[in-house]
Amino acid sequence: MNFKISNYQVYGLERAVKASGNPMRVKIDTSSPNEKDFQRAERLGATKNGLGHDNFLKGILVQLDVSAPLYWWKEAQRYHWFDFISSQSTMHCLLKFDLKEQVVEEVDSYILERFQELIADYQRIPDTQIEEKKNAWRILVASLPCGFCLSATMTTNYQQLKTMYIQRRHHKLKEWHVFCDWCERLPDFLALTGAKELANN
């Protein structure tokens, strides 16, 4: 299985661009954004992370499905506004997955064979042997290779994606390169986050 992002949708882009001008208004303006609004949003969005000038980017919401190996999920979970809506469950589905189809190609075949043996060991234990069954299950879960892939539906926003893009665009893992390439294809992402220049470096 390869890292994949699919079924993504972007919400609130125009409303957030318009709202980027709220600090200088005495009344909230809900009209459609014009060229001046986009120019202002691009200036604010390009500011350094943490200064607060790019806060309007939080109003551009993104929902997406991600299929990724466990080693990528461990890194992605450090981002506070990259939230799980719902995900596949190893607890419910581990024995239902086609293991060879569910891992990245770099997982060693010996590890896959050994894991299949552990599954067979678990399945041979009668349900009446509750403690033995629990212990075998723990061995299964603890032995699952990091290259095992799970899919999840996520929600995030352009401000969080800006941070992820800046921090991960030159990462060792090829999955982050795919992720950053996807960010670049989001509507107005490069312009509104100031990532246009970063993409060329």
Per-residue confidence (pLDDT) for residue 49, from 0 to 100: 77
Give the strand order in the sheet containing 83-87: 4-11, 61-69, 149-157, 83-87
Question: Contact at 8 Å (CB) between 132 and 125?
Answer: yes
* pLDDT tens, position by position, 82-141: 999 999 998 888 999 999 999 999 999 999 999 999 999 999 999 999 999 999 999 999
3-class secondary-structure state, position 133? helix
Confidence label for 201 from pLDDT (cuts 50, 70 and 90): low
Per-residue confidence (pLDDT) for residue 200, from 0 to 100: 54
Confidence label for 48 from pLDDT (cuts 50, 70 and 90): confident
Q: What is the pTM of this model?
A: 0.90
